């Protein structure tokens, strides 16, 4: 056996084996493919639900660019925007993230966040730089859906906020709007979240949200009132202006507070229903109780009377006017006005309680008997002027002792209260009677007589000016000259009777002589009264006047 290799057989081909080799350049596209496949798988695994949201307009929305955010976190993207078949709205298809399944609940809400300027302020300013996006709020219901109707404005409250919702009933919405503030003692504690007509269409149901922890201040006895605008009242204490805040003057709002007489305050449960009053005064007033309807017939003009005009009993507001109807009376041919009013007897307070106890109840029968007693005692309705500037009227229920007796039927419903003419109408009648008396005066005759008297007076004044006045001027001139002479005489007398003048000394000497003469005459008279015979016989030495000692010491005639 030889170690050399065997030579091939002539005429046969030699077969050689080759090994399969891959070039390194193919590794790059393979790696890229694997990365792309992993991204597709990851995207497919992380893809969340797909929903469709309809909006009124697609303003600011762009496919594959507009994002969906919740608390400023991106949870989805708009992938398609198309117009509806009836062209009434647009539909935006949104791909949500895998973690956004709670946003498929039926009560979830979506809205477009744009720059907005409204009564509640300015919002969405950040979208001027970042662009428009869709805001979202996850619902609470268990049922899910993939079709939603978008909101045209952001909701004032999201489901994540803590607090309580309450429902208010009112006759009309007024100036309130979604987002209007709710105040408690002039501090904002909540806002209006929605409103809708009531089921019977006779009012409006307003839903409000009070944030925590201020929702504990809403109790079962809380009173809500419309705080929109400015409340201006002119009363006996002057002009009163009341408003919650400057924003409520323009945008409106709601305020609430518990009344001072609340006996047992308890926190109200969520979704509790309350009544929304027109103003604070009506809201905080004591309960009105069961209303009673009355009717009044007036045979006078009621210009200035309006629906909601007050009805007062002895100065206490007990109700309001609810209707005004014009009727025709065949017998008199007049057109009386029938006023319908609702009164609340419970507003009389303690007097109402005493009357209820006396009548044994407050049913229709007891009310009719009580009204019959009042009418027999002179209860009458009268239209009075409540404001001289505006001419507005109100109904006054008072007792008139001089009112004529009227027949009252207690079975008539509603109860009809007899009426008397208003005080202003009586004043008009008195003024009319005064005008009639003045019109009956002989004005022409009085005028003619007055003209004649004025002519006589004019002639007299001419005579006075022509004759009397010149003579009076001469007389006054002479009197003036006389007064000047008297003044000169008095001046001369003063100089003559001066303290150191000789004339004054002579006058004093004369007065002394006159005094001594009077004293001598008195002594002589006394002597003759005692010795009348001296007139015949003469005076004796013994009975000489000088020896006479009068009752009062005086000098004798010889000494004098």
Averaged over 53-81, what is the pLDDT?
A: 90
Question: Binning pLDDT at 50, 70 and 90, where does residue 540 land?
Answer: low
Q: How far apart are CA 135 and CA 115, in angstroms?
A: 13
CB-based contacts of 434, cutoff 8 Å, min separation 6:
none
> Is the confidence at residue 70, as pLDDT, over 80?
yes
194 versus 18: the higher-pLDDT residue is 194
Strand partners, 136: 110
Q: What angle do CA 475, 479, 485 make, to 5 degrees?
A: 150
Cα–Cα nearest to 218, from 209, 227, 231, 206: 209
The DSSP H or E segment spanning 187 is strand 187-197
> Is the confidence at residue 160, as pLDDT, over 80?
no
pLDDT at 2: 46
Query: What is residue 51's DSSP assignment?
Result: E
126-135, 181-190, 454-463: range with highest mean pLDDT: 181-190
Instruction: Please report the beta strands in 71-186, taking only residues with DSSP state E, as ranges in sequence order.
Output: 73-83, 90-97, 109-113, 116-118, 121-123, 133-137, 147-149, 163-170, 181-184
Question: Binning pLDDT at 50, 70 and 90, where does residue 390 land?
Answer: confident
* Residues 275 and 205 sit within 8 Å (Cβ to Cβ): no
Strand partners, 67: 77
Cα–Cα nearest to 343, from 381, 412, 383, 289: 289
CB-based contacts of 297, cutoff 8 Å, min separation 6:
327, 336, 337, 338, 339, 416, 419
pLDDT at 289: 79
Q: Is 353 helix (H, G, I), strand (E, B) or coil?
A: helix
One-character DSSP codes across 372-430: HHHHHTTEEEEEEES-TTT--EEEEEEE-TTPPP----TT-SSEEEPB---HHHHHHHH
Q: What is the pLDDT of residues 444-499, one digit of tens each?
A: 778 778 888 888 888 888 877 777 778 787 788 888 888 888 888 887 777 766 66
Cα–Cα nearest to 75, from 44, 104, 98: 98
> Is the confidence at residue 239, as pLDDT, over 60?
no
Task: Please report the sign of the dihedral spanned by the C-alpha atoms of residue 235, residue 241, residue 242, residue 248.
Answer: positive
> Is the confidence at residue 288, as pLDDT, over 80?
no
Q: Is the peptide bond before 23 cis (omega within 30 degrees of 0)?
A: no
Task: Please report the sign of the dihedral spanned by the C-alpha atoms of residue 417, residue 420, residue 421, residue 424.
Answer: negative
Q: What is the pTM of this model?
A: 0.52
Averaged over 321-338, what is the pLDDT?
A: 87
pLDDT at 556: 43
The tokens of 106 are what? 């039926």
* Range scoring the smallest mean pLDDT among 196-200, 355-359, 466-470, 532-536: 532-536
* Range scoring the smallest mean pLDDT among 57-61, 184-188, 218-222, 365-369: 365-369
Q: What is the pLDDT of residues 394-440, one digit of tens each?
A: 899 888 888 888 888 877 788 888 888 766 566 666 677 777 777 77
pLDDT at 539: 63
Cα–Cα nearest to 71, from 152, 140, 202, 160: 160
547 versus 381: the higher-pLDDT residue is 381
Q: Compute the mean pLDDT over every residue in the chain, rounded to the nearest whole number.
A: 79
pLDDT at 558: 41
Averaged over 369-389, what is the pLDDT?
A: 84
> Is the confidence at residue 196, as pLDDT, over 60?
yes
pLDDT at 430: 66
Q: For the chain, what percent of residues have pLDDT higher than 70?
A: 78
Question: Binning pLDDT at 50, 70 and 90, where does residue 210 land?
Answer: very high
CB-based contacts of 259, cutoff 8 Å, min separation 6:
221, 223, 284, 286
pLDDT at 547: 45
Q: How far apart are CA 396 and CA 379, in angstroms?
A: 10
Q: How far apart are CA 399 and CA 378, in angstroms?
A: 5
């Amino acid at each position: 056996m030889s170690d050399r290799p065997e030579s091939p057989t002539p005429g046969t081909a030699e077969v050689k084996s080759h090994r399969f080799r891959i070039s390194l350049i193919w590794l790059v596209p393979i790696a890229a493919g694997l990365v792309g496949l992993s991204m597709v798988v990851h995207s497919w695994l992380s893809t969340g639900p797909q929903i469709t949201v309809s909006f009124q307009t697609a303003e600011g929305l762009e496919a594959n660019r507009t994002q969906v955010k919740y608390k400023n976190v991106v949870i989805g993207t708009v992938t398609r925007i198309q117009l509806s078949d009836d062209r009434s709205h647009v539909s935006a298809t949104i791909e949500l993230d895998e973690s956004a399944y709670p946003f498929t609940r039926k009560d979830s809400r979506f809205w477009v966040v744009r720059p907005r300027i409204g009564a509640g302020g300015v919002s969405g300013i950040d979208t001027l730089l970042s662009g428009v996006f869709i805001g979202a709020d996850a619902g609470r219901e268990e049922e899910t859906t993939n079709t939603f109707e978008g909101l045209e404005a952001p909701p004032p409250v999201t489901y994540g906020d803590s607090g309580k919702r309450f429902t208010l009933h009112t006759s009309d919405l007024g100036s309130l709007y979604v987002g209007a503030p709710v105040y408690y003692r002039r501090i904002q504690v909540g806002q209006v979240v929605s409103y809708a007509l009531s089921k019977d269409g006779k009012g409006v149901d307003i839903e409000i949200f009070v944030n925590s922890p201020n929702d504990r201040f809403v109790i079962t006895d809380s009173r809500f009132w419309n705080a929109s605008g400015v409340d201006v009242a002119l009363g006996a204490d002057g002009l009163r202006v009341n408003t919650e805040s400057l924003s409520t003057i323009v945008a409106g709002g709601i305020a609430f507070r518990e009344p001072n007489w609340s006996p047992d305050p308890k926190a109200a449960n969520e979704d509790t229903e309350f009544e929304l009053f027109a103003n604070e005064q009506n809201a905080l007033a004591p309960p009105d109780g069961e209303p009673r309807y009355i009717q009044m017939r007036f045979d006078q003009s009621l210009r200035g009377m309006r629906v909601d005009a007050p009805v007062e009993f002895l100065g206490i507001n007990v109700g309001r006017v609810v209707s005004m109807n014009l009727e025709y009376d065949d017998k008199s041919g007049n057109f009386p006005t029938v006023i319908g009013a609702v009164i609340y007897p419970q507003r009389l307070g303690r007097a109402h309680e005493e009357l209820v106890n006396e009548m044994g109840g407050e049913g229709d029968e007891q009310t009719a008997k009580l009204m019959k007693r009042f009418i027999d005692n002179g209860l009458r309705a009268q239209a009075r002027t409540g404001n001289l500037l505006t001419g507005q009227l109100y109904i006054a229920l008072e007792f008139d002792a001089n009112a004529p007796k009227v027949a009252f039927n207690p079975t008539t419903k509603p109860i009809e209260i007899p009426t008397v003419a208003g005080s202003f109408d009586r004043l008009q009648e008195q003024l009319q009677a005064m005008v009639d008396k003045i019109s009956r005066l002989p004005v022409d005759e009085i005028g003619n007589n007055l003209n004649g008297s004025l002519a006589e007076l004019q002639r007299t004044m001419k005579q006075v000016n022509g004759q009397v006045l010149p003579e009076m001027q001469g007389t006054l001139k002479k009197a003036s000259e006389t007064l000047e002479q008297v003044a000169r005489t008095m001046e001369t007398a003063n100089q003559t009777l001066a303290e150191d003048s000789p004339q004054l000394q002579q006058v004093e000497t004369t007065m002394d002589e006159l005094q001594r003469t009077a004293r001598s005459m008195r002594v002589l008279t006394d002597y003759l009264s005692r010795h009348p015979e001296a007139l015949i016989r003469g005076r004796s030495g013994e009975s000489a006047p000088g020896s006479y000692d009068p009752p009062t010491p005086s000098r004798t005639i010889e000494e004098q």
